[in-house]
Structure 1
């Protein structure tokens, strides 16, 4: 029991490299900013005071506690438009790592406001972003690769380049819980157990983006694909914590989500999920990869000058 306690304490509180978290902050902010830009064209139709679904209707449908910034606004569409630019600015500030904790808090409130005001257009990826945003508030995500780090450097404020990972671990847990819950829901359905589920998925005309090659439509392929999804969604949450399986699972997961991105038009869902994969990447390999990228980029810049 003592040994298990020591391992848990080390897992959540032993200092680790800040680079995966910084990379996730950048990817997370990019996902939120892209989501907002995709909503911009119909922003007032969805979230305006006189939108397609009125605030009063939502209030009647959604009972209980509501953390909704829109409820605090005057009954004026100008304030709703202003919210868009505040939310977008906060997400871009998070990408840059400027006032990272404050930006995370604003993004968290923004994502809650979108969910509470118009839950009809959101998907599981938005829910994951909202949960991740909450934990980012408690993460030192601006420790490196950020404007915050540059400001500290100019002020000669020296801090150890390690972080306590407990909040980062909780984001990782959110990701694996999505896969595990997806598996548990799927296994209840007869089409998934019989191996025919993906036949129906490939033929959802409302969600189709690009045509799936006929090779993936034959009976044997559909059975293999459907059962493979179940195996992956069970294996990922159980085995991703073991280093020997990590690279293989992340590679399979990337191929899985890119396939869905190609076939199905579910805006940003795949990228919301894939963005958190960087939290499982070896930090030293990530740091070396980034440094190598910038060295190559500088050489090319010098060569073209």
Structure 2
């Protein structure tokens, strides 16, 4: 019994706390920061309409116990613009890794404040953005491939210090939770159980980027295959993603699923943020090798361009 308990404890500690290279979390930070920057920029055209006192929701909904929002103090135009600017600075700071923890706080405060000012315009992508920003706050996100790293150890910029991965594990668990809850909610409805849900989704024209061919929406066989196939894939992504052998296959299927959804239906930033979460499952060694390989190719191209220029002695 003690031996079994010891093995469980060792596996638990290994999963959460055994130090590993920070290459994966660095790549996740960069991609997440880029998506958060785009999300913040997308708010600018409708900032006052979505969140101002003269907009679509003149009065903010009451905050629950323990909830907070900067816009609960004031949602006048100067405050909105200042909060938007701070959120943008935070998103860019996360992307480049400048004062990474402070930048993450700015981003998180901005996202939470905007979402609580007008929850009626939210979708799953906005919620995932908030959750990932929260997890990133506790991660060693600025330890590699960042301005912070360059300032601390310029000569070791391309190294990836070891750190406990527990915050990265929370992001991975978040992926499973998303698929578990999505699957559970879908199974509560008749349309998913009878195989017709995808047919209805593909016929809501006002949210489509491109019209779906009639032979797809009108085919019982195709729509049932798409509906039940989606449910099976989401179950696989919730459970089988933790199996190392099956992980590339289920994640590959998930990439195809989300790219097809993002291509055909306007789902905001949900597709980009889900694919960002997929990156948390990239092994640190693989992430490190990909980064260093990209660096070598970049330097090789620069060297070739210099050698071909007149100043480098190349032919005219």
Give the TM-score band, short-chain normalised.
over 0.9
Question: Which residue of the partner structure matches residue 47 of structure 1?
Answer: 51
Retained in 2: the 8 A contact 1:104–1:137? yes
TM-score by length of 1: 0.92
Contact 1:48–1:80 (CA under 8 A) maintained in structure 2: yes
Contact 1:67/1:109 (8 A) holds in 2 = no
- Give the Cα–Cα distance (whole angstroms) in 2 for the partners of residues 2 and 27 of structure 1: 38
The structure-2 alpha-carbon separation of the partners of 1:215 and 1:281, relative to structure 1 and needing over 3 Å to count, comes to farther
Q: Which residue of 2 aligns with 1:146?
A: 146
Q: For residue 82 of structure 1, report the CA deviation from its aligned partner.
A: 1.4
Q: Would you say the 8 A contact 1:112–1:130 is kept in 2?
A: yes
1:15 maps to 2:16:
no
2:124 equivalent in structure 1: 124
Structure 1 position 297, deviation (Å): 2.6
Provide the rounded CA distance (Å) in 2 between the counterparts of 1:156 and 1:19: 13
Question: 1:41 aligns to what SS in structure 2?
Answer: helix
Aligned partners of 2:285, 2:61: CA distance in 1, in Å? Answer: 48
Distance 2:66 2:197 in 1: 37
The corresponding residue for 1:26 is 30
CA contact (8 A) 2:61 2:118 kept: no
Give the Å deviation of 1:147.
0.5
Who wins on radius of gyration, i.e. which is larger? Answer: 2
Name the structure 2 match of 1:279. 280
**1:160 CA drift (Å):** 7.7
Aligned partners of 2:215 and 2:143: how far apart in 1?
Answer: 48
CA contact (8 A) 2:23 2:160 kept: no
| Distance of 1:215 and 1:284 partners within structure 2 | 45
2:185 aligned partner: 185
1:8, CA displacement in angstroms? 1.2
- What is the distance in 2 between the residues matched to 1:118 and 1:144? 36
How big is the shift at 1:156?
A: 8.7
TM-aligned CA deviation for residue 239 of structure 1:
1.1
Correspondences of 1:20-99 after superposition (within 5 Å): 20-54=24-58, 57-60=59-62, 62-73=63-74, 76-99=76-99
Gaps of 5+ in 1: none
Instruction: Flag the structure with more relative contact order, 1 or 2, with Cα contacts below 8 A and sequence separation at least 6.
Output: 1
Residues 287 and 215 of structure 1: is their aligned pair in 2 closer, same or farther, counting only changes over 3 Å?
A: farther
Contact 1:179 1:237 in 2 (8 A): yes
Aligned residues: 300
The 8 Å contact of residues 27 and 95 in structure 1, kept in 2 or not, is answered as yes
Alignment of 1:159-238 (within 5 A): 161-214=161-214, 216-217=216-217, 218-238=219-239
Q: 1:9 to 1:215 in 2, by over 3 A?
A: farther
Give the match for residue 310 of structure 2.
none
Q: Kindly report structure 1 stretches of 4+ aligned residues shifted beyond 4 Å.
A: 154-157
Cα separation, 2, equivalents of 1:28 and 1:46: 24
Offset, 1:202: 0.5
More moved, 17-26 vs 148-157: 148-157
User: Please, what TM-score do these two structures have when normalized by structure 2?
Assistant: 0.89
